Chain A
């Protein structure tokens, strides 16, 4: 409990990463204001450079055990720090890929792009570290309101406006549904702190109803079936850099938060939410895969692929064990590199030729062998083919679910992996085998996206073999 003002302010001492990010935010805002028309070129380097420094400084943060501030409102531990570092890496990669787009298409608004993206990141930080439903809600909205502005970033583009309208209305509706659930939790448990909710949770019908409302709201954010309907349209209409950000960071942060809340607030009656989650996982993986097969637009294709990947992430959540948490975070970590590699190639090609259809990729290997190679790696890794990193993350997440006796679920997920291999290989087939009259001409990538793609490629190729990462995650994870 808070006793003096000094104790109160000492709470900020454990918020290193948030405060660093706020500094970067203010710096970007001021740089955007004062650099003027001529300095716009330097603004991007200032923003990316300062955020890169923040990312590096994030790795120096370490607590040893679990820490809390502001009377338990804000919770952190090494696992939370690690998740924030993972989000930092992903955001930095998105900045690399967005550099070319920012330089050519929105010269005057690149400052806004960085500011909005970093604001959503701050929201995700707060959401991940929340110990109370109030902070959780504020973090969630801080993450999703600027995100809508980002989706609408191409002001002159019809698709962008349509995607943003769909995104903001579904986001607002889903948070309304979730809030109704939270209000019932408050009414039946008498508190909003996760640990006090856990003590007061007795499995009353109203509490189960509240939990279902809450899970529905989170389902919208993670785009689980049957709450996935906004995903494909929003991913297709948004600018590609924003789609990449939305599909990896937004999803990863929401999935980890969902896991934390289920583990902390609802751990007394795990069988209730595990039953719900069981069906959601089965439907999510299957529907995502079946719809992905018939997509012709690569952004839509990756949207459905990311829906089914969200189902796989939930396999780690359903286990409820420390192993489940480890494999979930590991899966998000690998998924980040893999999906961003795919989006990096797509945004490169879209920026320079405007093509995103799968048919446009016919014969890509002949003209752009390196891009085709990286795309192939990404597809193999998403499909889970050894020895790429995606295989290891799928392996661990299946192991976590199987450890809790969910054999049928793991079997269904394995069957779905085979379906997913089919459509991931369709892309590879288009690039390597299909002939094309006018293939995409040889494009020259800019330096920033080459750096980003290089990091992603290295990640896909060797992360699976660096066992200290997995061991470190195991040593800091916690269960219910």
Chain B
């Protein structure tokens, strides 16, 4: 059973825009972080699919996917540390609580 490459691309594009939508409408900082993970997963699907179907003789896409996963892990670790810090300071991780900085 062969799934054509377009199907994967539709999936990754949908995933990307679900992530963008979530990033914009989510009110919880953890929710925003999860939306960003969706975007990165869409990117990974793209890389792996392009490599598998279009350029199977080289490994660039797979390698890029690996690096994206690793860097995303580091980024999430720092982001969660910062969110915990926000919670300690404001007792709350709602985006509405972080609008103190104004002129």
Residues of A within 8 A of B (CB): 133-134, 137-138, 141, 145, 148-149, 152, 155-159, 161-166, 168-169, 172-173, 175-177, 179-180, 182-184, 186-187, 190-192, 232-233, 236-237, 294-297, 300
Contacts and interface: CB of A to CB of B under 8 A. Distances in A.
B68 to A, nearest CB: 6
Contact of B43 (A164, A180, A192): A180
Given A137-B68, A190-B55, 11 more contacts: A134-B67, A145-B75, A148-B82, A152-B81, A152-B82, A161-B88, A163-B101, A165-B83, A176-B43, A187-B46, A192-B64
B71 interface: yes
Given A169-B29, A169-B33, A184 B86 contact: no
Contact of A161 (B36, B42, B85): B85
B61 A186 contact: yes
A441 to B, nearest CB: 25
A172 B79 contact: yes
Given A134-B63, A165-B98, A187-B50, A141 B71 contact: yes
A157 B88 CA distance: 10
B11 interface: no
A294 B82 contact: no
Interface in B8-65: 16, 19-20, 23, 29, 32-33, 36, 39-40, 42-43, 46-47, 50, 54-55, 60-61, 63-64
B42 A180 contact: yes
B74 interface: yes
25 contacts: A134-B60, A137-B68, A145-B71, A145-B75, A158-B89, A161-B85, A162-B89, A162-B100, A168-B78, A168-B82, A169-B23, A169-B33, A169-B36, A169-B79, A172-B36, A176-B39, A180-B42, A182-B64, A183-B47, A186-B46, A186-B61, A190-B54, A191-B60, A295-B103, A300-B103
A173 B50 contact: no
Contacts of A177: 20, 39
Contacts of A168: 75, 78-79, 82
B75 A141 contact: yes
A233 B103 contact: no
Contact of A162 (B23, B33, B47, B98): B98
B67 A162 contact: no
Instruction: Specify the main secondary structure of chain A where it touches its partner.
Output: helix
Contacts of A149: 78, 81-82
B100 A159 contact: yes
A190 B101 CA distance: 45
A142 to B, nearest CB: 9
Contacts of A138: 67, 71
A179 B40 contact: yes
A180 B16 contact: yes
Contacts of B60: 134, 186, 191-192
A187 B54 contact: yes
B54 to A, nearest CB: 6
B43 A183 contact: yes
Contacts of A183: 43, 46-47, 50, 64
Nearest to A152: B82
Contacts of A237: 101
Q: Which of A152, A168, A172 gathers most chain B CB within 10 Å?
A: A172
Contacts of B71: 137-138, 141, 145
A163 B103 CA distance: 14
Given A138-B71, A161-B85, A164-B82, A169 B32 contact: yes
A148 B78 contact: yes
A134 B65 CA distance: 10
A10 B42 CA distance: 37
A252 to B, nearest CB: 23
A134 B36 CA distance: 19
Nearest to B76: A172
A179 to B, nearest CB: 4
A176 B29 CA distance: 17
B39 A180 contact: yes
A186 B47 contact: yes
Contacts of A163: 101
A148 B79 contact: yes
Contacts of A158: 89-90, 100
Nearest to B79: A168
B29 A165 contact: yes
B47 A172 contact: no
B40 A176 contact: yes
Lowest 7 A-B CB distances belong to which pairs? A176-B39, A183-B46, A187-B50, A179-B43, A162-B98, A233-B101, A141-B71
Contacts of A232: 101
Nearest to A183: B46
Contacts of B43: 176, 179-180, 182-183
A134 B61 CA distance: 10
A442 to B, nearest CB: 28
Nearest to A299: B101
Nearest to B46: A183
Q: Which of A155, A156, A158, A165 gathers most chain B CB within 10 Å?
A: A165
